[in-house]
Structure 1
Amino acid sequence: MTLPRLVATDLDGTLVRSDGSVSDYTRDVLVELDERGVPVVFVTGRPLRWAEDVFEHVGAHGLAIVSNGGLVWDVANSAVHLERAIEPELGLDVCRVIREAVPGSSFAVESLAGIGLEPAFLERHRVPQGARRGTIEELFDTPALKLLARHEELTPQEFWDAAEQAVQGRLVITWSSATTLLEISGPGVTKASTLEILCEARGIGAHEVIAFGDMPNDLPMLSWAGTSYAMADAHPTVREAAQHVAPGHDEDGVARVLAGVFGL
Protein backbone atom coordinates (compact mmCIF):
# COMPACT_ATOMS: atom_id res chain seq x y z
CA MET A 1 0.00 0.00 0.00
CA THR A 2 1.28 3.45 -0.98
CA LEU A 3 0.97 5.87 1.92
CA PRO A 4 -0.59 9.32 1.43
CA ARG A 5 1.89 12.15 0.87
CA LEU A 6 -0.35 14.87 2.32
CA VAL A 7 -3.12 15.06 4.91
CA ALA A 8 -5.89 17.65 4.49
CA THR A 9 -8.22 18.16 7.43
CA ASP A 10 -11.04 20.45 8.36
CA LEU A 11 -10.93 21.88 11.88
CA ASP A 12 -14.28 22.43 13.61
CA GLY A 13 -16.25 19.23 13.98
CA THR A 14 -13.32 17.30 12.52
CA LEU A 15 -9.88 17.77 14.10
CA VAL A 16 -10.90 20.12 16.91
CA ARG A 17 -12.99 18.86 19.82
CA SER A 18 -16.33 20.36 20.83
CA ASP A 19 -14.65 22.44 23.53
CA GLY A 20 -12.31 24.00 20.95
CA SER A 21 -9.26 22.04 22.05
CA VAL A 22 -6.79 19.81 20.21
CA SER A 23 -6.07 16.77 22.38
CA ASP A 24 -2.58 15.69 23.38
CA TYR A 25 -3.08 12.49 21.41
CA THR A 26 -3.99 14.36 18.22
CA ARG A 27 -1.11 16.76 18.77
CA ASP A 28 1.35 13.86 19.09
CA VAL A 29 0.11 12.29 15.85
CA LEU A 30 0.45 15.57 13.95
CA VAL A 31 3.98 16.07 15.27
CA GLU A 32 4.96 12.54 14.26
CA LEU A 33 3.63 13.02 10.72
CA ASP A 34 5.45 16.32 10.39
CA GLU A 35 8.69 14.66 11.50
CA ARG A 36 8.14 11.99 8.84
CA GLY A 37 7.82 14.70 6.19
CA VAL A 38 4.06 14.28 5.69
CA PRO A 39 2.47 17.75 5.75
CA VAL A 40 -0.87 18.12 7.52
CA VAL A 41 -2.69 21.02 5.89
CA PHE A 42 -5.51 22.63 7.84
CA VAL A 43 -8.33 23.40 5.39
CA THR A 44 -10.99 25.41 7.17
CA GLY A 45 -13.87 27.77 6.68
CA ARG A 46 -12.60 29.77 9.65
CA PRO A 47 -11.35 33.28 8.95
CA LEU A 48 -7.69 33.91 9.62
CA ARG A 49 -8.27 35.40 13.08
CA TRP A 50 -9.92 32.17 14.29
CA ALA A 51 -7.61 29.79 12.47
CA GLU A 52 -4.62 31.36 14.23
CA ASP A 53 -5.78 29.71 17.46
CA VAL A 54 -4.55 26.32 16.23
CA PHE A 55 -1.62 27.31 14.01
CA GLU A 56 0.83 25.99 16.60
CA HIS A 57 -0.19 22.51 15.43
CA VAL A 58 0.36 23.08 11.69
CA GLY A 59 3.96 21.85 11.76
CA ALA A 60 7.17 22.92 10.11
CA HIS A 61 5.69 23.28 6.61
CA GLY A 62 3.60 26.18 7.92
CA LEU A 63 0.75 26.49 5.40
CA ALA A 64 -2.98 26.60 6.09
CA ILE A 65 -5.99 27.09 3.82
CA VAL A 66 -8.59 29.33 5.45
CA SER A 67 -11.88 31.00 4.50
CA ASN A 68 -12.96 27.94 2.47
CA GLY A 69 -10.06 28.35 0.05
CA GLY A 70 -10.06 32.13 -0.18
CA LEU A 71 -6.64 32.36 1.44
CA VAL A 72 -3.51 30.24 1.80
CA TRP A 73 -1.61 31.56 4.80
CA ASP A 74 2.12 31.12 5.31
CA VAL A 75 2.09 30.40 9.02
CA ALA A 76 5.86 30.30 9.40
CA ASN A 77 6.31 33.78 7.93
CA SER A 78 2.93 35.22 8.96
CA ALA A 79 2.21 36.30 5.40
CA VAL A 80 -0.16 35.73 2.49
CA HIS A 81 0.88 32.81 0.28
CA LEU A 82 -2.13 32.96 -2.05
CA GLU A 83 -5.27 35.08 -2.09
CA ARG A 84 -8.39 34.15 -4.10
CA ALA A 85 -10.77 37.00 -3.42
CA ILE A 86 -14.21 38.19 -4.52
CA GLU A 87 -14.12 41.46 -6.44
CA PRO A 88 -16.49 44.13 -5.04
CA GLU A 89 -18.54 44.65 -8.20
CA LEU A 90 -19.40 40.97 -8.51
CA GLY A 91 -19.90 40.55 -4.76
CA LEU A 92 -22.30 43.46 -4.50
CA ASP A 93 -24.34 42.22 -7.45
CA VAL A 94 -24.63 38.79 -5.82
CA CYS A 95 -25.79 40.41 -2.58
CA ARG A 96 -28.44 42.28 -4.54
CA VAL A 97 -29.83 39.19 -6.26
CA ILE A 98 -29.87 37.17 -3.03
CA ARG A 99 -31.68 39.96 -1.18
CA GLU A 100 -34.23 40.23 -3.97
CA ALA A 101 -34.79 36.46 -4.04
CA VAL A 102 -34.79 36.04 -0.25
CA PRO A 103 -36.01 39.13 1.62
CA GLY A 104 -34.60 39.29 5.12
CA SER A 105 -31.08 38.35 4.07
CA SER A 106 -28.26 40.20 5.79
CA PHE A 107 -24.56 40.22 4.94
CA ALA A 108 -21.06 40.43 6.35
CA VAL A 109 -17.69 40.61 4.59
CA GLU A 110 -14.46 38.90 5.63
CA SER A 111 -11.13 40.34 4.47
CA LEU A 112 -7.55 40.30 5.66
CA ALA A 113 -8.39 43.40 7.68
CA GLY A 114 -11.19 41.60 9.55
CA ILE A 115 -14.96 41.44 9.40
CA GLY A 116 -17.50 44.07 8.43
CA LEU A 117 -21.18 43.56 9.29
CA GLU A 118 -24.49 45.04 8.30
CA PRO A 119 -26.56 46.17 11.33
CA ALA A 120 -29.09 43.37 10.76
CA PHE A 121 -26.41 40.66 10.63
CA LEU A 122 -26.65 38.89 14.00
CA GLU A 123 -23.22 37.36 14.59
CA ARG A 124 -23.23 34.37 16.96
CA HIS A 125 -19.54 34.70 17.80
CA ARG A 126 -17.81 37.52 19.59
CA VAL A 127 -17.32 40.41 17.18
CA PRO A 128 -13.70 41.61 17.29
CA GLN A 129 -12.97 45.09 18.50
CA GLY A 130 -12.79 47.55 15.64
CA ALA A 131 -15.06 45.56 13.32
CA ARG A 132 -16.68 47.74 10.69
CA ARG A 133 -20.44 48.36 10.63
CA GLY A 134 -22.44 49.70 7.73
CA THR A 135 -24.37 48.88 4.57
CA ILE A 136 -22.99 46.17 2.32
CA GLU A 137 -22.12 48.88 -0.22
CA GLU A 138 -19.97 50.61 2.40
CA LEU A 139 -18.36 47.39 3.60
CA PHE A 140 -17.59 45.78 0.24
CA ASP A 141 -15.16 48.47 -0.91
CA THR A 142 -12.17 46.14 -1.38
CA PRO A 143 -11.82 42.48 -2.48
CA ALA A 144 -13.17 40.02 0.12
CA LEU A 145 -11.95 36.58 1.08
CA LYS A 146 -15.47 35.47 1.98
CA LEU A 147 -18.98 36.88 1.89
CA LEU A 148 -21.39 35.77 4.60
CA ALA A 149 -25.18 35.76 4.24
CA ARG A 150 -27.50 35.12 7.17
CA HIS A 151 -31.24 34.53 7.52
CA GLU A 152 -33.13 34.30 10.80
CA GLU A 153 -36.19 32.39 9.60
CA LEU A 154 -35.17 29.82 6.98
CA THR A 155 -33.27 26.57 7.52
CA PRO A 156 -29.72 26.34 6.12
CA GLN A 157 -30.87 24.05 3.29
CA GLU A 158 -33.77 26.32 2.35
CA PHE A 159 -31.54 29.39 2.26
CA TRP A 160 -28.84 27.56 0.33
CA ASP A 161 -31.28 26.29 -2.29
CA ALA A 162 -32.83 29.74 -2.81
CA ALA A 163 -29.46 31.49 -2.99
CA GLU A 164 -28.04 28.92 -5.41
CA GLN A 165 -30.97 29.43 -7.72
CA ALA A 166 -30.60 33.22 -7.59
CA VAL A 167 -26.81 33.35 -8.01
CA GLN A 168 -26.62 30.78 -10.83
CA GLY A 169 -23.05 29.71 -10.11
CA ARG A 170 -21.44 33.14 -10.36
CA LEU A 171 -19.93 32.61 -6.90
CA VAL A 172 -19.52 29.43 -4.85
CA ILE A 173 -22.05 29.06 -2.02
CA THR A 174 -21.73 26.57 0.82
CA TRP A 175 -22.40 26.28 4.55
CA SER A 176 -20.92 24.70 7.65
CA SER A 177 -22.88 26.21 10.53
CA ALA A 178 -25.73 24.88 12.66
CA THR A 179 -27.39 28.26 12.11
CA THR A 180 -28.62 29.60 8.77
CA LEU A 181 -25.37 31.10 7.56
CA LEU A 182 -24.15 30.84 3.98
CA GLU A 183 -20.45 31.12 3.18
CA ILE A 184 -19.81 32.57 -0.28
CA SER A 185 -16.47 32.41 -2.09
CA GLY A 186 -15.03 33.66 -5.37
CA PRO A 187 -15.71 31.99 -8.73
CA GLY A 188 -14.51 28.40 -8.59
CA VAL A 189 -13.03 28.84 -5.11
CA THR A 190 -13.54 25.85 -2.83
CA LYS A 191 -11.45 24.00 -0.31
CA ALA A 192 -10.73 21.50 -3.08
CA SER A 193 -9.65 23.91 -5.80
CA THR A 194 -7.24 25.76 -3.51
CA LEU A 195 -5.89 22.50 -2.08
CA GLU A 196 -5.30 21.31 -5.63
CA ILE A 197 -3.23 24.43 -6.38
CA LEU A 198 -1.18 23.85 -3.25
CA CYS A 199 -0.63 20.17 -4.07
CA GLU A 200 0.27 20.76 -7.73
CA ALA A 201 3.02 23.14 -6.66
CA ARG A 202 4.50 20.28 -4.62
CA GLY A 203 4.07 17.57 -7.23
CA ILE A 204 1.37 15.82 -5.21
CA GLY A 205 -1.62 14.27 -6.98
CA ALA A 206 -5.15 13.95 -5.67
CA HIS A 207 -4.63 10.18 -5.32
CA GLU A 208 -1.86 10.90 -2.80
CA VAL A 209 -4.07 13.00 -0.49
CA ILE A 210 -6.12 11.76 2.47
CA ALA A 211 -8.83 14.22 3.57
CA PHE A 212 -11.22 14.57 6.52
CA GLY A 213 -14.37 16.67 6.95
CA ASP A 214 -17.82 16.91 8.47
CA MET A 215 -19.95 19.60 6.78
CA PRO A 216 -21.17 20.53 3.27
CA ASN A 217 -18.29 22.96 2.73
CA ASP A 218 -16.00 19.89 2.89
CA LEU A 219 -17.77 18.03 0.08
CA PRO A 220 -15.60 19.29 -2.81
CA MET A 221 -12.41 18.43 -0.92
CA LEU A 222 -13.63 14.96 0.00
CA SER A 223 -14.69 14.29 -3.58
CA TRP A 224 -11.31 15.45 -4.92
CA ALA A 225 -9.00 13.61 -2.54
CA GLY A 226 -7.92 10.06 -3.33
CA THR A 227 -8.92 8.90 0.16
CA SER A 228 -11.75 10.59 2.04
CA TYR A 229 -13.18 10.26 5.54
CA ALA A 230 -16.35 11.74 7.00
CA MET A 231 -16.52 12.02 10.76
CA ALA A 232 -19.03 9.73 12.47
CA ASP A 233 -21.05 12.77 13.55
CA ALA A 234 -20.78 14.51 10.17
CA HIS A 235 -23.66 15.97 8.18
CA PRO A 236 -25.56 13.14 6.38
CA THR A 237 -24.55 14.41 2.93
CA VAL A 238 -20.90 14.23 3.95
CA ARG A 239 -21.14 10.70 5.29
CA GLU A 240 -22.82 9.67 2.06
CA ALA A 241 -20.14 11.28 -0.14
CA ALA A 242 -17.02 10.11 1.70
CA GLN A 243 -15.38 6.74 1.09
CA HIS A 244 -14.92 5.98 4.79
CA VAL A 245 -16.20 7.05 8.21
CA ALA A 246 -13.84 8.06 11.03
CA PRO A 247 -14.68 8.12 14.76
CA GLY A 248 -16.21 11.41 15.94
CA HIS A 249 -14.17 14.55 16.53
CA ASP A 250 -14.52 14.23 20.31
CA GLU A 251 -12.97 10.76 20.00
CA ASP A 252 -9.87 12.03 18.13
CA GLY A 253 -11.18 10.38 14.97
CA VAL A 254 -8.73 12.04 12.58
CA ALA A 255 -5.71 11.13 14.68
CA ARG A 256 -6.88 7.54 15.20
CA VAL A 257 -7.35 6.99 11.48
CA LEU A 258 -3.96 8.53 10.69
CA ALA A 259 -2.27 6.42 13.34
CA GLY A 260 -3.69 3.32 11.68
CA VAL A 261 -2.88 4.37 8.12
CA PHE A 262 0.72 5.36 8.90
CA GLY A 263 1.36 2.70 11.52
CA LEU A 264 2.10 5.19 14.28
Structure 2
Amino acid sequence: MTGPVTGPGTGPETGPETGLGARPGPPRLVATDLDGTLLDAEGRVSTRTREVLEELDRRDVPVVFVTGRPVRWMASLWDAVGGHGLAICSNGALVYDVARGAVRSSRRVSPEVAVEVGRVLRAAVPGTTFALERLDGFAREGDFMPRLPPGDDVPVGPLAEIADDGVVKVLARHEELEPEDFWRRVEEAVGSLVTTTWSSTGALVEMSALGVTKASTLEQLCRELGVLREDVAAFGDMPNDVAMLQWAGRSWAMDAAHPSVKAAALHVAPPHDLDGVAQVLTELFDL
Protein backbone atom coordinates (compact mmCIF):
# COMPACT_ATOMS: atom_id res chain seq x y z
CA MET A 1 0.00 0.00 0.00
CA THR A 2 1.23 3.51 -0.76
CA GLY A 3 -1.06 5.10 1.80
CA PRO A 4 -4.06 4.46 4.00
CA VAL A 5 -7.60 4.30 2.72
CA THR A 6 -9.46 7.11 4.42
CA GLY A 7 -12.91 8.45 5.00
CA PRO A 8 -13.67 11.96 3.74
CA GLY A 9 -12.13 14.49 6.04
CA THR A 10 -11.53 12.00 8.83
CA GLY A 11 -8.00 10.76 8.29
CA PRO A 12 -7.14 7.05 8.39
CA GLU A 13 -10.04 4.88 9.51
CA THR A 14 -9.82 1.73 11.59
CA GLY A 15 -13.50 0.81 11.32
CA PRO A 16 -15.12 -2.13 9.63
CA GLU A 17 -15.08 -0.84 6.05
CA THR A 18 -11.40 -0.35 5.40
CA GLY A 19 -9.72 -3.61 6.25
CA LEU A 20 -7.48 -1.82 8.77
CA GLY A 21 -9.41 -3.24 11.72
CA ALA A 22 -12.20 -5.68 12.49
CA ARG A 23 -14.70 -5.87 9.64
CA PRO A 24 -17.53 -7.93 8.20
CA GLY A 25 -16.94 -10.38 5.40
CA PRO A 26 -15.66 -9.16 2.04
CA PRO A 27 -18.10 -7.77 -0.54
CA ARG A 28 -19.94 -10.19 -2.82
CA LEU A 29 -19.80 -7.82 -5.80
CA VAL A 30 -17.56 -4.92 -6.83
CA ALA A 31 -18.95 -2.12 -8.99
CA THR A 32 -16.44 0.33 -10.39
CA ASP A 33 -16.40 3.30 -12.68
CA LEU A 34 -13.62 3.28 -15.26
CA ASP A 35 -12.18 6.65 -16.34
CA GLY A 36 -10.56 8.43 -13.41
CA THR A 37 -11.30 5.43 -11.19
CA LEU A 38 -10.17 1.94 -12.24
CA LEU A 39 -8.13 3.01 -15.27
CA ASP A 40 -4.80 4.80 -15.19
CA ALA A 41 -4.13 8.18 -16.80
CA GLU A 42 -3.63 6.47 -20.17
CA GLY A 43 -7.05 4.82 -19.97
CA ARG A 44 -5.60 1.36 -19.35
CA VAL A 45 -6.00 -1.36 -16.73
CA SER A 46 -2.60 -1.48 -15.03
CA THR A 47 -0.75 -4.73 -14.43
CA ARG A 48 -1.38 -4.57 -10.69
CA THR A 49 -5.07 -3.83 -11.11
CA ARG A 50 -5.44 -6.61 -13.67
CA GLU A 51 -3.85 -9.09 -11.24
CA VAL A 52 -6.31 -8.09 -8.52
CA LEU A 53 -9.28 -8.43 -10.87
CA GLU A 54 -8.08 -11.85 -11.98
CA GLU A 55 -7.82 -13.00 -8.37
CA LEU A 56 -11.36 -11.82 -7.62
CA ASP A 57 -12.56 -13.69 -10.69
CA ARG A 58 -10.91 -16.85 -9.38
CA ARG A 59 -12.81 -16.29 -6.14
CA ASP A 60 -16.09 -15.92 -8.07
CA VAL A 61 -16.52 -12.28 -7.05
CA PRO A 62 -18.10 -10.35 -9.94
CA VAL A 63 -16.43 -7.05 -10.81
CA VAL A 64 -18.97 -5.05 -12.79
CA PHE A 65 -17.66 -2.17 -14.89
CA VAL A 66 -20.20 0.63 -14.45
CA THR A 67 -19.43 3.41 -16.89
CA GLY A 68 -20.77 6.30 -18.88
CA ARG A 69 -18.89 4.91 -21.87
CA PRO A 70 -20.90 3.43 -24.72
CA VAL A 71 -20.31 -0.19 -25.62
CA ARG A 72 -18.33 0.87 -28.69
CA TRP A 73 -15.61 2.33 -26.43
CA MET A 74 -15.18 -0.85 -24.40
CA ALA A 75 -13.57 -3.35 -26.78
CA SER A 76 -10.05 -2.97 -25.38
CA LEU A 77 -11.26 -3.54 -21.80
CA TRP A 78 -13.44 -6.64 -22.11
CA ASP A 79 -10.66 -9.07 -21.28
CA ALA A 80 -10.37 -7.46 -17.82
CA VAL A 81 -14.05 -8.00 -16.93
CA GLY A 82 -13.53 -11.59 -15.84
CA GLY A 83 -15.57 -14.74 -16.20
CA HIS A 84 -18.87 -13.24 -15.08
CA GLY A 85 -18.76 -11.05 -18.19
CA LEU A 86 -21.18 -8.24 -17.34
CA ALA A 87 -20.86 -4.47 -17.66
CA ILE A 88 -23.21 -1.53 -17.21
CA CYS A 89 -22.64 1.05 -19.95
CA SER A 90 -24.00 4.46 -20.97
CA ASN A 91 -24.72 5.52 -17.38
CA GLY A 92 -27.04 2.60 -16.74
CA ALA A 93 -28.88 2.48 -20.05
CA LEU A 94 -27.31 -0.85 -21.06
CA VAL A 95 -26.27 -4.08 -19.41
CA TYR A 96 -23.84 -5.84 -21.73
CA ASP A 97 -23.11 -9.56 -21.72
CA VAL A 98 -19.45 -9.75 -22.69
CA ALA A 99 -19.34 -13.50 -23.25
CA ARG A 100 -22.24 -13.37 -25.70
CA GLY A 101 -21.19 -10.06 -27.23
CA ALA A 102 -24.74 -8.81 -26.88
CA VAL A 103 -26.88 -6.34 -24.98
CA ARG A 104 -28.55 -8.15 -22.07
CA SER A 105 -31.02 -5.36 -21.33
CA SER A 106 -31.57 -1.73 -22.26
CA ARG A 107 -33.51 1.23 -20.87
CA ARG A 108 -34.02 3.66 -23.71
CA VAL A 109 -35.07 7.25 -24.35
CA SER A 110 -38.05 7.37 -26.68
CA PRO A 111 -37.50 9.34 -29.90
CA GLU A 112 -40.38 11.63 -28.93
CA VAL A 113 -38.71 12.51 -25.63
CA ALA A 114 -35.33 13.03 -27.33
CA VAL A 115 -36.86 15.50 -29.79
CA GLU A 116 -38.78 17.29 -27.04
CA VAL A 117 -35.59 17.63 -24.98
CA GLY A 118 -33.94 19.26 -27.97
CA ARG A 119 -36.83 21.66 -28.49
CA VAL A 120 -36.94 22.73 -24.84
CA LEU A 121 -33.18 23.12 -24.45
CA ARG A 122 -32.71 25.14 -27.61
CA ALA A 123 -35.15 27.67 -26.18
CA ALA A 124 -33.84 27.57 -22.61
CA VAL A 125 -30.10 27.46 -23.37
CA PRO A 126 -29.39 28.89 -26.83
CA GLY A 127 -26.28 27.47 -28.44
CA THR A 128 -26.91 23.91 -27.24
CA THR A 129 -26.18 21.18 -29.78
CA PHE A 130 -27.04 17.49 -29.65
CA ALA A 131 -25.84 13.98 -30.34
CA LEU A 132 -27.22 10.54 -29.57
CA GLU A 133 -25.83 7.26 -28.36
CA ARG A 134 -27.96 4.56 -29.97
CA LEU A 135 -27.93 0.80 -29.86
CA ASP A 136 -26.38 0.86 -33.32
CA GLY A 137 -23.75 3.51 -32.53
CA PHE A 138 -23.27 7.27 -32.48
CA ALA A 139 -25.28 9.91 -34.35
CA ARG A 140 -25.04 13.69 -34.18
CA GLU A 141 -26.26 17.00 -35.44
CA GLY A 142 -23.94 18.73 -37.88
CA ASP A 143 -23.00 21.47 -35.41
CA PHE A 144 -22.34 19.13 -32.48
CA MET A 145 -18.62 19.38 -31.77
CA PRO A 146 -17.85 20.36 -35.38
CA ARG A 147 -14.17 19.57 -34.83
CA LEU A 148 -15.04 15.87 -34.73
CA PRO A 149 -13.73 14.13 -37.83
CA PRO A 150 -16.53 12.87 -40.05
CA GLY A 151 -17.16 9.16 -39.96
CA ASP A 152 -18.61 7.09 -42.76
CA ASP A 153 -20.76 5.17 -40.30
CA VAL A 154 -21.91 8.18 -38.21
CA PRO A 155 -25.34 9.50 -39.18
CA VAL A 156 -25.42 13.31 -39.22
CA GLY A 157 -28.64 15.29 -39.36
CA PRO A 158 -31.34 17.13 -37.41
CA LEU A 159 -32.29 15.58 -34.07
CA ALA A 160 -35.73 14.61 -35.35
CA GLU A 161 -34.13 12.59 -38.14
CA ILE A 162 -31.44 10.78 -36.16
CA ALA A 163 -33.63 9.92 -33.13
CA ASP A 164 -34.93 6.35 -33.38
CA ASP A 165 -36.19 3.59 -31.10
CA GLY A 166 -32.64 2.69 -30.11
CA VAL A 167 -31.62 5.89 -28.28
CA VAL A 168 -29.91 5.09 -24.97
CA LYS A 169 -28.41 8.50 -24.22
CA VAL A 170 -28.92 12.07 -25.40
CA LEU A 171 -25.82 14.27 -25.33
CA ALA A 172 -26.05 18.05 -25.09
CA ARG A 173 -23.01 20.25 -25.66
CA HIS A 174 -22.32 23.95 -25.21
CA GLU A 175 -19.13 25.57 -26.44
CA GLU A 176 -19.17 28.57 -24.09
CA LEU A 177 -20.62 27.61 -20.69
CA GLU A 178 -18.81 26.03 -17.76
CA PRO A 179 -19.64 22.33 -17.24
CA GLU A 180 -21.50 22.59 -13.93
CA ASP A 181 -23.34 25.76 -14.91
CA PHE A 182 -24.49 24.11 -18.13
CA TRP A 183 -25.64 21.01 -16.27
CA ARG A 184 -27.68 23.10 -13.82
CA ARG A 185 -29.42 24.89 -16.69
CA VAL A 186 -30.14 21.63 -18.45
CA GLU A 187 -31.47 20.01 -15.28
CA GLU A 188 -33.76 22.95 -14.61
CA ALA A 189 -35.11 22.87 -18.16
CA VAL A 190 -35.58 19.14 -18.81
CA GLY A 191 -35.09 17.35 -15.49
CA SER A 192 -38.74 16.31 -15.57
CA LEU A 193 -38.26 14.57 -18.93
CA VAL A 194 -34.91 12.78 -18.53
CA THR A 195 -32.24 11.97 -15.97
CA THR A 196 -29.34 14.39 -16.38
CA THR A 197 -25.74 14.08 -15.29
CA TRP A 198 -22.22 15.03 -16.35
CA SER A 199 -18.77 13.53 -16.12
CA SER A 200 -16.68 15.55 -18.58
CA THR A 201 -14.27 18.46 -18.19
CA GLY A 202 -16.17 20.15 -21.02
CA ALA A 203 -19.75 21.40 -21.04
CA LEU A 204 -21.29 18.06 -22.01
CA VAL A 205 -24.46 16.84 -20.30
CA GLU A 206 -25.53 13.22 -20.59
CA MET A 207 -29.26 12.41 -20.48
CA SER A 208 -30.86 9.02 -19.94
CA ALA A 209 -34.46 7.89 -19.69
CA LEU A 210 -36.16 9.20 -16.57
CA GLY A 211 -35.02 7.22 -13.54
CA VAL A 212 -32.09 5.57 -15.31
CA THR A 213 -28.79 5.93 -13.47
CA LYS A 214 -25.78 3.78 -12.78
CA ALA A 215 -27.37 3.10 -9.39
CA SER A 216 -30.81 2.05 -10.58
CA THR A 217 -29.42 -0.39 -13.13
CA LEU A 218 -26.85 -1.75 -10.68
CA GLU A 219 -29.64 -2.29 -8.15
CA GLN A 220 -31.66 -4.17 -10.75
CA LEU A 221 -28.67 -6.31 -11.75
CA CYS A 222 -27.82 -7.12 -8.13
CA ARG A 223 -31.41 -8.18 -7.54
CA GLU A 224 -31.14 -10.58 -10.48
CA LEU A 225 -27.85 -11.94 -9.12
CA GLY A 226 -29.15 -12.26 -5.55
CA VAL A 227 -26.68 -9.73 -4.12
CA LEU A 228 -27.77 -7.33 -1.37
CA ARG A 229 -26.73 -3.68 -1.48
CA GLU A 230 -24.77 -4.03 1.77
CA ASP A 231 -22.61 -6.63 0.00
CA VAL A 232 -21.65 -4.23 -2.82
CA ALA A 233 -18.44 -2.18 -2.86
CA ALA A 234 -18.54 0.73 -5.31
CA PHE A 235 -15.93 3.17 -6.63
CA GLY A 236 -16.27 6.41 -8.59
CA ASP A 237 -14.97 9.91 -9.20
CA MET A 238 -17.53 12.08 -11.03
CA PRO A 239 -21.11 13.30 -10.49
CA ASN A 240 -22.57 10.48 -12.58
CA ASP A 241 -21.25 8.11 -9.87
CA VAL A 242 -22.95 9.82 -6.91
CA ALA A 243 -26.19 7.81 -6.88
CA MET A 244 -24.27 4.53 -7.19
CA LEU A 245 -22.02 5.40 -4.27
CA GLN A 246 -25.00 6.42 -2.16
CA TRP A 247 -26.76 3.14 -2.94
CA ALA A 248 -23.89 0.72 -2.33
CA GLY A 249 -23.26 -0.59 1.15
CA ARG A 250 -19.57 0.31 0.90
CA SER A 251 -18.36 3.18 -1.24
CA TRP A 252 -15.15 4.95 -2.16
CA ALA A 253 -14.55 8.21 -3.97
CA MET A 254 -11.20 8.49 -5.66
CA ASP A 255 -8.60 10.87 -4.28
CA ALA A 256 -9.13 13.41 -7.10
CA ALA A 257 -12.91 12.97 -7.22
CA HIS A 258 -15.36 15.83 -7.67
CA PRO A 259 -16.39 17.30 -4.26
CA SER A 260 -19.95 16.02 -4.65
CA VAL A 261 -18.61 12.50 -5.05
CA LYS A 262 -16.46 12.71 -1.93
CA ALA A 263 -19.50 13.98 -0.03
CA ALA A 264 -21.54 10.98 -1.21
CA ALA A 265 -18.99 8.25 -0.51
CA LEU A 266 -18.16 6.66 2.82
CA HIS A 267 -14.43 6.59 2.10
CA VAL A 268 -11.70 8.04 -0.10
CA ALA A 269 -9.43 5.75 -2.10
CA PRO A 270 -5.86 6.51 -3.20
CA PRO A 271 -5.35 8.09 -6.64
CA HIS A 272 -6.43 6.13 -9.69
CA ASP A 273 -2.94 6.47 -11.17
CA LEU A 274 -1.58 4.65 -8.10
CA ASP A 275 -3.97 1.71 -8.51
CA GLY A 276 -6.29 3.11 -5.86
CA VAL A 277 -9.11 0.65 -6.51
CA ALA A 278 -6.68 -2.27 -6.45
CA GLN A 279 -5.24 -1.00 -3.16
CA VAL A 280 -8.66 -0.98 -1.52
CA LEU A 281 -9.62 -4.38 -2.93
CA THR A 282 -6.34 -5.84 -1.71
CA GLU A 283 -7.31 -4.82 1.82
CA LEU A 284 -10.94 -5.87 1.59
CA PHE A 285 -10.13 -9.36 0.31
CA ASP A 286 -6.82 -9.90 2.14
CA LEU A 287 -5.02 -10.45 -1.16
Q: Which of the five TM-score ranges fits, normalised by the shorter chain?
A: over 0.9
* Identical residues among aligned pairs (%): 55
Tell me the equivalent position of 1:198: 221
2:45 and 2:146 map into 1 onto residues whose CA distance is 25
Aligned pair partner of 1:167 in 185, 190, 195: 190
| Superimposed CA distance per residue, residues 59-111 of structure 1 (whole angstroms, 9 cap, x where no aligned partner) | 00001000000000000000110111101011111111111100000000001
Q: Report the TM-score, using the length of structure 2 for normalisation.
A: 0.89
- Could you tell me how far 1:129 is from its partner in structure 2? 4.1
1:132 and 2:155 correspond: yes
Residue identity in the other structure for 2:93: G
Aligned match of 2:285: 262
1:111 aligns with 2:112: no
How far the C-alpha of 1:169 sits from its partner, in A, is: 2.5
Match of 2:205 in 1: 182
The correspondence of residues 6-45 of structure 1 with structure 2, limited to 5 A, is 6-45=29-68
SS of 1:7's equivalent? strand
TM-score (norm 1): 0.97
Q: Please say if residues 136 and 166 of structure 2, whose CA atoms lie closer than 8 Å, have aligned partners that are also in contact.
A: no
1:142, CA displacement in angstroms? 2.6
Note the C-alpha offset of 1:203. Answer: 1.0
Gap change, CA 1:168 and 1:208, over 3 Å in 2: same
**Secondary structure of 1:77's match?**
coil
What's the secondary structure of 2:105's corresponding residue? strand
1:86 & 1:24 partners in 2: Cα distance?
38
Alpha-carbon separation, structure 1, partners of 2:197 and 2:25: 33
SS at match of 1:172: strand
Contact 2:29–2:233 (Cα < 8 Å) also in 1: yes
Instruction: State the SS of the aligned residue for 1:183.
Output: strand
2:78 to 20, 40, 55: 55
Structure 1 residue aligned with 2:92, among 60, 64, 69?
69
What residue is the counterpart of 2:27 in the other structure? 4
Q: Partners in 1 of 2:55 and 2:148 — Cα distance?
A: 33
Compared CA separation, residues 124 and 112, structure 1 to 2 (3 A) = farther
Partner of 2:171: 148
State how many pairs are aligned: 264
- 5+ residue gaps, structure 2: 1-23
Residues 152-193 of structure 1, C-alpha deviations (whole Å, 9 max, x = no match): 011111111111111132210000000110000011000000
SS of aligned partner of 1:133: coil
* Bigger Rg, which one: 2
Q: In 2, distance between residues paired with 1:69 and 1:52?
A: 18
1:218 partnered with 2:273: no
